[in-house]
Amino acid sequence: MRRPLVMGNWKLNGSKNMVNELIANLRNELSPVYGCDIAIAPPVMYLDLAKHNLSGSCIALGAQNVDLNLSGAYTGDISAAMLKDIGTRYVIIGHSERRTYHKESDEFIAKKFAVLKEKGLIPVLCIGESEAENEAGQTEAVCAKQLDAVLDTLGASAFENAVIAYEPIWAIGTGKSATPAQAQAVHKFIRDHIAKKDADVAKKVIIQYGGSVNASNAAELFTQPDIDGALVGGASLKADAFAVIVKAAAEAKRV
Ligand code: 13P
């Protein structure tokens, strides 16, 4: 049985006050929750403060991005070594917002994946299709291509101790989540695609769903066998809503 992971992606939201307050509230709401891994990914600016505030809690630290180089003359970059140094466990890569606004390619994202593995950090690889691709019936082809960028360069074993987040772009921040059946079909496709290379890795890899997950729709999404938690945007900024989602995952996947 896979242990679900619910992770909050705060995106470009936060302040010192907000970090202090939201983490204090999360600690109250989530102490303790068994049967679900929990993480938050605040903006890089606040990771150190967040780590300090999370001390002794069951909530792990995630980052929203990483650059390729480990040190040197790369003005403005943040390295995997630095993220590791301050206690980050998970790093989101390939988010559609970075693919769109920063023109990140599949190949570039695969390189980030490799750097994270090398440093012992857990990549959370986001994949997913646009609305037009969805309507054109290209969902599986798009997801396969995004996965293959990693599979073909690093092999299936790279997905050991890694996370995939299926985030259909049309569901992100729109309030229009994929239905549980829609998401399950794609999650199964993703797992089967990896299983073609390595059945054991495929069976164990965590596949989160992301896109308008909230306190009302989470439980039903988690009833699906291949949905192993969620990557949560907007609802992760409210401690009570995020806690409902975490508890729904723990409950749905209880063995
Ligand atoms: P929302 O939950 O706000 O739709 O965002 C999802 C997301 O992009 C998480 O990475």
Residue nearest to atom 7 of ligand 1 (CA): 233
**Alpha-carbon span 52 to 56, nearest angstrom:** 9
CB of 62 sitting under 6 A from ligand 1: no
Please work out whether the CB of residue 172 comes within 6 Å of at least one atom of ligand 1: yes
From the CA of 6, how far away is ligand 1's center (Å)?
12
Q: How far is the CA of 197 from the centre of ligand 1 (A)?
A: 29
Q: What atom in ligand 1 is closest to the CA of residue 212? A: 4
- Range 5-252 classified under CATH 3.20.20.70: yes
Q: Which of 93, 172, 177, 238 to mutate to test the pocket of ligand 1 (most atoms within 8 A of CB)?
A: 172
What ranges do the domains of the chain cover? Answer: 5-252
The residue nearest atom 9 of ligand 1, judged by CA position, is 233
CA atoms within 13 A of residue 129's CA, in its CB half-sphere? 21
CB of 213 closer than 6 angstroms to any ligand 1 atom: yes
Question: In a 3-state reduction of DSSP, which class is residue 62?
Answer: strand
Burial 66-76 (b: 16+ CB within 10 A, else e): beeeeeeeeee
Residue 100 Cβ inside 6 Å of ligand 1? The answer reads: no
Rounded Cα distance, 177 and 84, in Å: 33
Per-residue model confidence (pLDDT) at position 255:
73
Distance CA 252, CA 113 (A): 30
C-beta 211 within 6 A of ligand 1: yes
Among residues 187, 197, 122, 207, the alpha carbon closest in space to that of 153 is found at 197
How many residues can be counted in the chain? 255
Tell me, using a 6 A CB cutoff, whether residue 40 lines ligand 1. Answer: no
Q: Is the CB of 212 under 6 A from ligand 1?
A: yes
* pLDDT tens for each residue of the chain, 255 residues long: 899 999 999 999 999 999 999 999 999 999 888 899 999 999 999 999 999 999 999 999 999 999 999 999 999 999 999 999 999 999 999 999 999 999 999 999 999 999 999 999 999 999 999 999 999 999 999 999 999 999 999 999 999 999 999 999 999 999 999 999 999 999 999 999 999 999 999 999 999 999 999 999 999 999 999 999 999 999 999 999 999 999 999 999 987
- Catalytic residue IDs: 95, 167
pTM: 0.98
Q: Which of 5, 6, 9, 13 to mutate to test the pocket of ligand 1 (most atoms within 8 A of CB)?
A: 9
